Chain A
Amino acid sequence: MDKFRMIFQFLQSNQESFMNGICGIMALASAQMYSAFDFNCPCLPHYNLAYGLGILLVPPFILFLLGFVLNNNISMLAEEWRRPQGQRGKDPAVLRYMFCSMAQRAMIAPAVWVSVTLLDGKCITCAFCTSVPVETLGNASHPSLSQGEMKRVLARIPCKEIYNGQEFIANEVAVRYLRCISQALGWCFVLLMTTLAFLVRSLRPCFTQAAFLKSRYWSHYIDIERKLFDEMCAEHARSFAKVCIQQFFEGMSTDLATARCHPPRKAPADAGEAAEKLLGITDRGTMNAALKSWHRCKPPLHLHPPVLPSSNGWAGEKQPPVHPPAPRRETAAYFSRV
C-alpha cells in the first residue's frame, strides 16, 4: 500500500503527470480488457467480417471518447471556448494547444487496443478467413465447390471443432497464414504510431517553440485561475454560511427571550467559551424550536451587520438592520423578508 501511495503522490505532483498517469492506467486497462474479453467468432460467411472488424474498431472509438471524458480539462476547454469575450481577449492558439494535448493523450488507449488485437491475430483471422488464397495454399487435388459452398467452408476456419474443409486447405496452414498477416499489420501499426509520435514531438522545437511556450503558459494559467476561483468561492461560502447561521441563532434566541418577557440571556463574563458557544440556547424546548424553525423557514441569503443591543425587539423571525447613530442618517431602512 505504501508503494501505491508513493506512486500516487508522485503522479499527483503536477497536473501533467496526473494526466499521464490516467493515460497509462487506461492503456493498461485496455490491454487487460482485451485479454479478459471472450472472443467468439460466429464462423458464418458475412457475419465474420462484421464481427471481426467491429471488435477491432468499435472499442477503440469508445476508449477514445472515454479518454476525453476522464480528462478534467475538457470542461475547461469548453468553458474557455464558449465564454463571451468580455474584457479579456481569446487566443485560438491556446485553445488549439489544449485540444491537441488532450487528443494526444486520449489516443494512447485506442492505439494499444488496436495493436494488441492485431498482434494477437484472432480478429483478422475471423474477419478475413473467407479470403484465404486456396489455390496457393490449398491441396492441389480436390473436387471443386461452388463459390457459396467454398465461402461457407472457409468461414469455419476459426472454429476448429466444426471445420470440415481439411481436404481443401489445412486448418493450421490457413490460420498460420492469416496470423502472420495480422502480426505484420500489427507491428507496422506500432511502428507507424511511434514514428508519428516521434515526429510530432521532435518537430515542435524546430518550428514553433516560442508560440508553444506562450500557449503552454496561458493554458496552465487558465487552469490555475479556475481552481483558485473555486477555492475562493468555497472559502466565501463557508464564511457566508457561518455568519448566516450565527445570525439565525442569535435571532432565535432573542425572539424566544422576548416572547417569554425576559431580556436575552447573556452569558456571564466569566463563564468561558463553552457557554458562549451555546448561542443563548440552553434548554430542550428552545433547541427544538430552533431546529423546527431551521427546517420550516430558513433565513434569507442576506447577511446584515451585527446587531447592536436594543430594547425594542421584534417578535417576528427576522431582525431588521439597525443603523448606527450617525447624525447625517435620517431614514432607517427596514427590510421585510417575509
Chain B
Amino acid sequence: MDRFRMIFQYFQSNSESVMNGICGLLALASVKMYTCFDFSCPCLPRYNIAYGLGIMFVPPVALFLCGLILNRQSLVMLEEWRRPQGRRKKDLAVIRYMCSSIMQRAMVAPVVWIIVTLLDGKCLICAFSSSVDPEKFVGFANASPMQVQQLLAKVPCKDDELMRNNTSRKAVSRYLRCWSQALGWSILLILIIAAFLARWLRPCFNQATLLQARHWSNYIDIEQKIFEETCCEHSRLFAHKCILHFFESMRQEIKLHSFGLPREGEGAEGEEDLLRGITDQDQVNKLLKMWYYEKPPLDVNQVTQR
C-alpha cells in the first residue's frame, strides 16, 4: 500500500498532476463502461445505422463534457475570461493556453472510447452491414433486393434463426470487422504521430511565450486556491470571536441581573474561566435560547478593539 500512497501523493502534488490523474481515470472509466455495456444491435434495416453510429458518437460527447466538468481549471479559466479588468490586465495568451490544455485533457476519454469501439468492431458491423455490396458474398447474391436488405440487416445477430447456419454471415462480419479495425489502428497511429510532433516541435516555436503562459496559468490557479483557504481560515476566526463575544455578553447580562458574588475563591480557577460565568441550569438554558432566537450580529469590532 506504500506504493499506492506514493502514487496518490505524487498526483496531489500539484494541480496539473491532479488533472492528469482525473484524465487517466476517466479514460479507464470509459473502457470499463464499454466492456460493461451490453451491445445489442436491433438488426432492423434503418435502425442499425442509427444505433451503431449513436453508440459510437453519443457517449464520447458525454465523456467530453464530463472531462470539462471534472476539471477544476475550466472554472478558473472561465472566471479569468469573464472577470472585469479592474487593475489587473488580462493576458489572452494565458487564457488560450489554459483553454487548449483543458481541451486536450478532455479529449482523451472520448478518443479512447472511439478507438476501443472501432477495434472491437461491433458498432461498425451493426451500422454498415446493410450497406455492403451483396454481389461480393455468395449467400446474398441470389436474393431479391428487399430480401437482401432484410438479411444483411440481420448479419450482426448471430443467434437469429435465419442467420444461425449462414456461412456468408461470417464473411460479411469478418469483412466489416477488418475495415473497422483498420480504421481504428489508423486513427490511433495518426493521433500518436500528431502528439509526438506537437511535443517535439513545440520548443521550436515561441518557447518563451509558452513558459510565460504556463507560469501565469499556474499562478492564477494557485492564487484561487489560496484565496479560498484564506477565506475559510478567516471565517473560522470570525466565528470564534463572534461566539466568544456572545458568551461575554451573556456573562455581563447575568452580572447585571443578579447579586454578582465576587469570585475570589481559590482552586479550580482554570475551570471557572472555562465556565465563562455561566454556572446554572437556567443560565445555560437562557444562553441556548438566546443563541437560537437572537443570533449575535456579524460584527466583531468591539471585540477586536478591546
Stretch at the interface among A95-103, A191-199, A282-290: A191-199
Q: Which of B4, B47, B82, B259 contacts A209 (CB 8 A)?
A: B82
Min CB distance, B153 to chain A, in Å? 11
Chain A residues with CB under 8 A of B247:
232
Known A240-B279, A301-B281, A302-B281; judge A179-B240 contact (CB<8 A): no
B58 near A302 (CB under 8 angstroms)? no
Cα-based distance from A306 to B59 in the complex (angstroms): 74
Size bin of chain A's contact surface: 35 or more
Measured CA separation A228–B51 after assembly (Å)? 56
B-side interface mostly: helix
Contact call A3/B235, Cβ cutoff below 8 A: no
From residue 78 to 130 of chain A, which have CB atoms closer than 8 A to chain B? 83-84, 86-88, 119-121
Binary contact readout B271-295 vs A (1 if CB under 8 angstroms, 0 otherwise): 1101110111100100010011111
Q: Which of B160, B243, B271, B298 contacts A239 (CB 8 A)?
A: B271
Report which of A205, A240, A308 forms a contact with B82, defined as CB distance below 8 A.
A205
CB <8 Å contact, B261 and A303 = no
Question: Which one of B37, B74, B236, B295 contacts A119 once the chains associate, using CB atoms below 8 Å?
Answer: B37
Q: Which residues of A contact B279 (CB under 8 A)?
A: 240, 243, 302-304
Give CA–CA (A6, B4) in the complex, Å. Answer: 10
Known: A87-B297, A324-B264. A202 touches B275 (CB 8 A): no
Q: Is the CB of A6 within 8 A of B65?
A: no
Which chain B residues border A50 with CB–CB below 8 Å?
A: none
Q: Decide yes or no whether B139 CB sits under 8 A from chain A.
A: no
- Decide yes or no whether A57 CB sits under 8 A from chain B: no
> Would B231 and A220 count as touching, CB distance under 8 A?
yes
The answer to whether B51 and A323 have CB atoms under 8 Å apart is no
7 cross-chain pairs, A with B, having the tightest CB-CB distances, nearest first: A301-B281, A86-B294, A306-B265, A180-B42, A303-B279, A225-B239, A2-B1
**What residues make up the interface of B, taking CB atoms closer than 8 Å to A?**
1, 4-5, 8, 12, 37-38, 40-44, 47, 50-51, 54-55, 58-59, 61-62, 65-66, 68-69, 74-75, 78-79, 82-83, 157, 159-161, 231-232, 235-236, 238-240, 242-243, 247, 259, 261-268, 271-272, 274-276, 278-281, 284, 288, 291-298
